[in-house]
Structure 1
């Protein structure tokens, strides 16, 4: 068992850390990391107490995390997503209670939310990118269900280690697929960054997992030693998966008294990380209208996050090249110019005259105050310090008269208008973005 359990634990823990470190704010990566973490802890629990109730429950929990990742992956409009997200959370808690309460094979009920999520994914498969995700995820789900059923079933197949290893392979593939989905949706490269992280994972296995496996084989039936070895492996795998974030944390601690040096090192490291994940410049000229619209919408949502903007393919637009001419060409410098271009595009939506909340102003208001200024009108305690009079009026108007779902829909429609302007600069004058919203389709109550 240790020969299979320790490498499986190390790889699952490392991949969970890598996914979280890649972009902690994305729910698709959070849910995937949660599934891998539950599996890793379940492997450790099964090694210490084979067949115990906690170990069985932990090995079933990845199905719930996996279902959450599938729901986060669904291409839904804001009005559609809100009830589905709430329903998924309630069902997840309900099935968690059932997994804990039911014995043995009954814990396979954890697969039900995953089946439901995959059914929705297949229904919307025409809008899912990349296209191979639904069949690949379904195949992995079937293999995971078979392995989990054999592991929890009453039939003894001569050892649990092969089944636990096979389940681990399925979950590692799912984690990779979720990383591919996130990179595709964000317009980033995955292979160079993942290849570097895999080398770090290999080093972690050699340094920690191999000695831990030998220790468990030499000192069997000692729970304290086994737990200590898994903790050691988890720490080493965390360092391998969270290299960039741990490096910045060490700088904040070790260089706390030298803010200038710490800032310079942060910029250098962030530029280096962005270079690994930026798409090739030649790709921007070959993307289609739907992807360009998606990238523009993502860039507007990430307006306040310079690190995410630095990895956007939109930093290679000709307008950014022109603004950057004669200056240092670094990912974060391009991100600052892209931010300036987006700000100008949003300002171009402002109607003439003083601030207002009429229909003509809705697209400018939603982008200027919710994206550019980063205000959240629906926060429990919206901040008001340092805000202009216009910003305070806009936040109050959104809170009182504009439902949250309508605001999100306006953001999508306004992003389409901005994307059309940028698309023209890219050389697509003869290919205007289709589906531009008519200004009289959405109405709201005005103050």
Structure 2
């Protein structure tokens, strides 16, 4: 039994960060993969603690340690810009078959396959990192560089790659009891880098939200896991107690980190006959979480056109979710405050988000050509169609998972047109162009007045 305080701490931190990334953006492949990589590493720590003394499990433990690096290479693949689809196919159809064949060979006792798996994981990780740094424009933004995101990704990737390869060369810099837990440091650096990049992309603050999640998870882990740790110290490292310690820590951290989605799941069961109440509760929970992610004191007037357009684009993508709109810096627009004052509405986070949503809807409506028709396919309709039907109506023409059966005849015509006539990349470009128009309209009153000479 090779459990240690360092191993438990590494497990708790990686388990928490993995769950945090998953809960932060369950719909984003890069966050899902980052979270899965951290959770896979946490699982490797548990297996090592429980079976580290069993030589017959050495091959399986080695495979478990390498897999998080392979998963993390898939995180970087999502940052390849216009080459993302090609890189994604290579990652799925080339790298993973090599990894699976190597893993099976290792489990079958082929020692040479260890080098193949470790090399494949390390090379894929570093190639993915270089590609992401070269292709993803947001990683080159001054604000992202100032936050240290590229540095975190580079250092974390290099350390993780070295941690996989060096032991195979016979160079043991640290005892095994420390080397495996310290791999978690590399993954934590990568996780922080991805979280910072996502926060920048969303126009959100990260520190307060992440610190709140960490403190509550750590407190729960100490309160509940500490009891099992005391029992281990007093009675010795029994297998049952070691398993209980890791299980309690995992459960305590998960209950705190995933509190919001767990409450949502419970509401869907308990309040299934009261959908309005369920939606209201979910909206309030999302708004409460979003407040911790709201960037404090964002000077909208000081933002350049590109940054303001990016924030507008992100707000449009959250059009149907008031909870997420709460965290948008655009809720501090003068137009929002003025609309609240004109309507004597309470100045609350959800109230500001609702007004911002209304302003976005009005801007989108002004893009509609004055032809008297509800839908058209000519050039003058492209900006309106790209925003209205995608964000306001909520159709997803290229998604195989999102099937709407409640569309009216106009929306069905639009959906058929998008599917048959508009490539996905073209729609994306139209949305960007339309977002620039909406952003310019929202930003107009922020511009300083021009005084005649």
What band does the TM-score fall into relative to the shorter chain? 0.7 to 0.9
CA deviation vs aligned residue, 1:281-333 (integer Å, no higher than 9, x gap): 44323222222111111122222222221111111112222222221222222
The aligned residue for residue 397 of structure 2 is 377
Pairing partner for 1:38 from 23, 37, 40: 40
Q: What is the SS of the residue equivalent to 1:52?
A: helix
The structure, 1 or 2, with the larger RCO (C-alpha pairs under 8 Å, 6+ apart) is: 1
Change (3 A) 1:276 1:96: same
Would the aligned equivalents of 1:189 and 1:277 in 2 still touch at CA under 8 Å? yes
The aligned residue for residue 294 of structure 1 is 310
Change (3 A) 1:266 1:134: closer
Distance across 1 between alignment mates of 2:165 and 2:224: 31
Q: Determine whether 1:200 maps to 2:216.
A: yes
The aligned residue for residue 120 of structure 1 is 131
Q: What is the SS of the residue equivalent to 2:438?
A: helix
Distance across 2 between alignment mates of 1:267 and 1:358: 37
Would the aligned equivalents of 1:19 and 1:33 in 2 still touch at CA under 8 Å? yes
The aligned residue for residue 114 of structure 2 is 104
Would the aligned equivalents of 1:315 and 1:334 in 2 still touch at CA under 8 Å? yes
Q: Determine whether 1:399 maps to 2:419.
A: yes
Distance across 2 between alignment mates of 1:407 and 1:157: 52
Distance across 1 between alignment mates of 2:325 and 2:209: 17
1:222: how far off? 5.2
Would the aligned equivalents of 1:9 and 1:43 in 2 still touch at CA under 8 Å? yes
1:168: how far off? 0.8
Moved more, 12-21 or 237-246: 237-246
Distance across 1 between alignment mates of 2:402 and 2:264: 30
The aligned residue for residue 86 of structure 2 is 83
The aligned residue for residue 159 of structure 2 is 143
Distance across 2 between alignment mates of 1:428 and 1:389: 45
- Aligned-residue RMSD, C-alpha: 2.7
Q: What is the SS of the residue equivalent to 2:175?
A: coil
The aligned residue for residue 72 of structure 1 is 78
Distance across 2 between alignment mates of 1:359 and 1:323: 33
Would the aligned equivalents of 2:41 and 2:64 in 1 still touch at CA under 8 Å? yes
The aligned residue for residue 324 of structure 1 is 340
Q: Determine whether 1:22 maps to 2:42.
A: no
Change (3 A) 1:263 1:345: closer
The aligned residue for residue 437 of structure 1 is none
CA deviation vs aligned residue, 1:63-91 (integer Å, no higher than 9, x gap): 122212222244x24xx433233333334
Gaps of 5+ in 1: 431-447
Would the aligned equivalents of 1:2 and 1:216 in 2 still touch at CA under 8 Å? no
1:139: how far off? 1.5
Distance across 2 between alignment mates of 1:381 and 1:136: 34
Change (3 A) 1:316 1:157: closer
Q: What is the SS of the residue equivalent to 1:356?
A: coil
The aligned residue for residue 165 of structure 1 is 181
1:424: how far off? 1.4
The aligned residue for residue 366 of structure 1 is 386
The aligned residue for residue 353 of structure 2 is 335
Distance across 1 between alignment mates of 2:68 and 2:97: 15
Would the aligned equivalents of 2:149 and 2:196 in 1 still touch at CA under 8 Å? no
CA deviation vs aligned residue, 1:92-129 (integer Å, no higher than 9, x gap): 42243144135333321211221111111232366424
Pairing partner for 1:62 from 56, 68, 71: 68
Gaps of 5+ in 2: 107-112
Distance across 1 between alignment mates of 2:290 and 2:65: 35
Change (3 A) 1:384 1:160: closer
CA deviation vs aligned residue, 1:22-78 (integer Å, no higher than 9, x gap): 22222222111011001000111111222622221111112122212222244x24x
CA deviation vs aligned residue, 1:205-236 (integer Å, no higher than 9, x gap): 31244344455566667545433432222111
Distance across 1 between alignment mates of 2:17 and 2:396: 32
Would the aligned equivalents of 1:212 and 1:233 in 2 still touch at CA under 8 Å? no
The aligned residue for residue 109 of structure 2 is none
TM-score, normalised on structure 2? Answer: 0.85
1:200: how far off? 1.3
Change (3 A) 1:35 1:179: same
Change (3 A) 1:83 1:124: closer
Distance across 2 between alignment mates of 1:57 and 1:336: 50
Distance across 2 between alignment mates of 1:359 and 1:54: 58
